[in-house]
């Protein structure tokens, strides 16, 4: 649903005795239309992405600690440097408020590498003892709940949380989802090509190494790793694919406690739920019943010792980033170096800043928005949102392929969309989390347990429509179909994405396109299945739905013909929603821009016409270099198409682009499938 994925701040540390203070940091500035990022030797009609981003690609090699480097990632790293200064100030100042104290203490604890190293695997001891003490398969269920509660990031076997009832979006219900795999996707376990086989061998070796770090002898670790791999392969086979998971009807299986028991009788549900301390519930959604049936079957057939090894490995794998250097390095070597192509691990301060953002994000975010997000930015971007929504309304009304009934429902949905800009109205209260300067792993666990309890605590309660699931510094945006809202964190409304110093052309091309993208998600092949209230409810006439499907098919045929990396084509059944949002969003942004500037006389700048500047501004959100390993992973897991096609694939469908650059019919950058696609 999101658009991304899509000079270091001057930090001067003055040390006087024990006390350090950091200078007020500043974010570096890059304009939202950067002519130095262009490659004017390229023919825009042959490869527009090269024309708009070729200079950026040349000037911005991927840093050794990154797997991909883009305008979005660079801004995100600038934010991390800025947040670091905020955290260093927080650790140094005396007599500060409780929120500042908490993020400062958390950061100090995280930065204490020597202490983490001296502890080795000791922080896992309590859990390892509990696993070791389990006398039966039945005893594993409460153990899973215990391990799930305190594992940040990677989960244990499956996920439990809360979700809006797909049929009644006003209430929160319990939700069970598949999980339990150590590779990035279920398809990794089956693909027959040489690279995939190598992935599995390396993963199995990683599992063995982690078990050795827990003290297992090499031969025993190797044998356990092979059994864990067999168990995970069975779980992977019973897991839904990413394409299946895009269909909300395939993800909806509501059931009561008795049906949970019937679905997975070997999972000791009562003991599990008692250990969770979740509110009692009479209805839960299970996204993938076949997965839970498989878990149950394997609980009945796989020896207890193998399950114990499985849990020991996943416990250590989930906590590895917070343990000693041996664990941290093994985790980096497999997940970021081997699988994604990073050359170096990120410096510890970057990992720590991101962890504060991850676990105490709305505390750290308060300082961030105070320093970087002005009311003026909020107002001007909200005005852009409203203008783009007005264009959407006009276009919905004007679609001649849509019946009046469907139009009416579509308009009701459009009018019900809530616009959330910058940061939440009410900040999350983390006061109940105990944070200690000398207990990093404990802090991570307590913050994870807080979030776990917060999620489960929603069960049975009315929905909080003010909640955000991205933190304010996040350089990204999202549409939430069950909330029916669009969300733009402060982090994505900064230069070079939204640039208050620039004129409308690049700002509408870039941020206007992002706004249009999120708005279009409400009406893409998946979002269109939800109504104005966020309920999974069909509001389309049969004929209109068929006409929409035809238009979507045009887009999936187009993207399905593009190469993602080397021998892999784009899986356009996975990327369809994003591809539709990219196209729909940019069309909306273009019309809204024309509308905004209709009374103004616009001039050429930098040898670019106003229309050309709109399109270059658009393309430059996506300038990027990515390692081939990361590209391969994304080809299987990323619902977004590669950056180049998020630009070229859009503009080939826009006659406004052809006119702006005077492209001749039959120019090299033509659509692989011929005819232009149009969604809204």
519 interacts with Zn ion by CB under 5 A:
no
DSSP letter (8 states) at residue 286: E
Where do the H-state alpha helices sit in 620-668? 628-637, 643-651, 655-660
Strand pairing report for 13-16 and 19-22: antiparallel
Please report how close the Cβ of residue 577 comes to Zn ion at its closest, in angstroms. 7
Nearest residue (CB) to Zn ion, 1 versus 207: 1
Q: How many residues make contact with Zn ion (CB under 5 A)?
A: 3
Q: What residues from 1 to 20 belong to the interface with Zn ion (CB under 5 A)?
A: 1
Closer CB to Zn ion, 199 or 572, in the complex:
572
| Cβ-based nearer residue to Zn ion, 361 or 584 | 584
Restricting to residues 107-146, name those near Zn ion by CB under 5 A. Answer: none
Residue 518 known to be catalytic:
yes
Binding piece for Zn ion, criterion CB under 5 A, among 296-304, 315-323, 324-332, 571-579: 571-579
Beta bridge mates, 175? 161, 285
Nearest-approach distance from CB 582 to Zn ion, in angstroms: 8
CB nearer to Zn ion: give 286 or 552: 552
Structure tokens at 420: 């959330």
- Catalytic entry in 78, 88, 518, 578: 518
Is 643 a binder of Zn ion (CB under 5 A)?
no
Q: Tell which one of 581, 592, 636, 647 touches Zn ion (CB under 5 A).
A: 581
Residues contacting residue 400 through CB under 8 Å, at least 6 positions apart: none
Stretch that binds Zn ion, among 26-34, 332-340, 531-539, 572-580 (CB under 5 A): 572-580
Q: Closest CB to Zn ion among 299 and 581? A: 581
**CA–CA distance, 56 with 630 (Å, rounded to integer):** 19
CB of residue 606 to Zn ion, shortest distance in Å: 30
Q: How many CB atoms lie within 10 A of CB 300?
A: 11
Could you say whether residue 650 binds Zn ion (CB under 5 A)?
no
Residue with tokens 């497999």: 334
Least CB distance from residue 641 to Zn ion, whole Å?
A: 11
Cα 585 from Cα 52, distance rounded (Å): 19
* Lookup: tokens for 337: 């170096």
Which residue lies nearer to Zn ion by CB, 84 or 517?
Answer: 517
Those residues whose C-beta lies under 8 Å from the C-beta of residue 192, and which sit 6 or more positions away, are none
Cβ-count burial of 464 within 10 angstroms (0-12 exposed, 13-18 middle, 19+ buried)?
A: exposed
Binding map of Zn ion across residues 526-565, x = CB under 5 A, - = no contact: ----------------------------------------
583 touches Zn ion by CB under 5 A: no
How many CA atoms lie within 13 Å of 473's alpha carbon, on the beta-carbon side? 31
Strands of the sheet with 284-286, listed across from one edge: 158-165, 168-178, 284-286, 254-255
Check if 582 is active-site.
Answer: yes
Q: HSE (CB half, 13 Å, CA atoms) of 443? A: 28
Which one of 503, 544, 582, 633 is the catalytic residue? Answer: 582
The three-class DSSP label of residue 43 is: coil
Query: Would you please indicate which residues are annotated as catalytic (active-site) residues?
Result: 518, 582
Residues that bind Zn ion (CB under 5 A): 1, 578, 581
């Amino acid at each position: 649903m999101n658009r991304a994925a899509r000079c270091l701040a001057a930090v001067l540390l003055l040390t006087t005795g024990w006390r350090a203070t950091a200078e007020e940091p500043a974010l570096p500035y890059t304009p939202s239309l950067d002519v130095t990022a262009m490659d004017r030797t390229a023919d825009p009609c042959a490869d527009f992405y090269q024309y708009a981003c070729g200079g950026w690609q040349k000037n911005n090699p991927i840093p050794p600690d990154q797997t991909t480097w883009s305008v979005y990632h660079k801004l995100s790293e600038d934010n991390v440097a800025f947040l670091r200064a905020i955290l260093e100030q927080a650790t140094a100042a005396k007599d500060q408020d409780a929120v500042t104290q908490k993020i400062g203490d958390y950061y100090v604890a995280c930065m204490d590498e020597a202490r983490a190293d001296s502890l080795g695997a000791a922080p896992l001891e309590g859990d390892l003892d509990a696993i070791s003490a389990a006398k039966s398969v039945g005893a594993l269920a409460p153990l899973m709940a215990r391990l799930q509660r305190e594992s940040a990031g990677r989960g244990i076997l499956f996920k439990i949380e809360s979700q809006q009832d797909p049929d009644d979006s006003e209430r929160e219900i319990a939700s069970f989802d598949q999980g339990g795999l150590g590779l990035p996707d279920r398809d990794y376990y089956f693909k027959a090509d040489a690279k995939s086989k190598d992935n599995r061998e390396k993963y199995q070796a990683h599992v063995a190494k982690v078990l050795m770090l827990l003290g297992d002898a090499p031969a025993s670790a190797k044998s356990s790793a092979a059994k864990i791999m067999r168990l995970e392969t069975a779980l992977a086979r019973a897991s839904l694919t990413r394409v299946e998971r895009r269909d909300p009807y395939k993800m909806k299986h509501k059931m009561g406690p008795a049906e949970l028991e019937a679905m997975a009788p070997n999972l000791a549900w009562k003991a599990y739920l008692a250990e969770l301390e979740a509110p009692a519930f009479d209805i839960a959604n299970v996204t993938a019943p076949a997965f839970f049936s498989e878990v149950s079957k394997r609980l009945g057939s796989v020896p207890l010792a193998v399950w114990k090894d499985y849990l020991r490995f996943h416990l250590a794998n989930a906590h590895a980033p917070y343990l000693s250097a041996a664990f941290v390095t093994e985790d980096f070597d497999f997940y970021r170096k081997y699988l994604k192509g990073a050359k170096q691990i990120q410096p510890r301060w970057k990992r720590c800043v991101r962890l504060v953002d991850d676990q105490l994000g709305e505390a750290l975010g308060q300082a961030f928005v105070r320093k970087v997000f002005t009311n003026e930015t909020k107002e001007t971007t909200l005005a852009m949102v409203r203008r783009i929504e007005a264009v959407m309304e006009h276009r919905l009304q004007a679609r001649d392929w849509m019946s009046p009934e469907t139009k009416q429902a579509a308009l009701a949905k459009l009018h019900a969309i809530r616009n959330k800009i910058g940061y939440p109205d009410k900040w999350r209260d983390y006061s109940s989390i105990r944070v200690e300067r000398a207990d990093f792993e404990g802090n991570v666990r307590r913050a994870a347990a807080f979030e776990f309890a917060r999620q489960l605590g929603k069960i049975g309660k009315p929905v909080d429509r003010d909640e955000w699931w991205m933190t304010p510094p996040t350089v990204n945006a999202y549409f939430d179909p069950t909330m029916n809202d669009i969300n733009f964190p402060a982090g994505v409304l900064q230069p070079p994405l939204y640039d208050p110093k620039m004129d409308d052309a690049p700002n509408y091309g870039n941020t206007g396109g992002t706004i249009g993208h999120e708005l279009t998600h409400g009406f893409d092949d998946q979002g269109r299945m939800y109504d104005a209230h966020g309920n999974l409810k069909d509001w389309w006439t049969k004929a209109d739905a068929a006409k929409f499907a035809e238009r979507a098919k045009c887009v999936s045929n187009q993207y399905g013909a593009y190469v993602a990396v080397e021998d892999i084509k784009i899986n356009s059944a996975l990327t369809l929603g994003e591809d539709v949002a990219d196209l729909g969003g940019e069309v909306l942004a273009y019309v809204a821009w024309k509308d905004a500037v209709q009374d103004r006389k616009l001039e050429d700048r930098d040898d670019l016409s106003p229309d050309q500047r709109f399109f270059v501004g658009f393309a430059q959100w996506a300038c990027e270099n990515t390692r081939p390993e990361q590209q391969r992973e994304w080809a299987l897991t990323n619902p977004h198409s590669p950056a180049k096609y998020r630009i070229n694939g859009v503009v080939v469908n826009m006659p406004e682009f052809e006119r702006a650059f005077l492209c001749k019919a039959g120019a090299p950058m033509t659509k692989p499938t011929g005819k232009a696609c149009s969604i809204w």
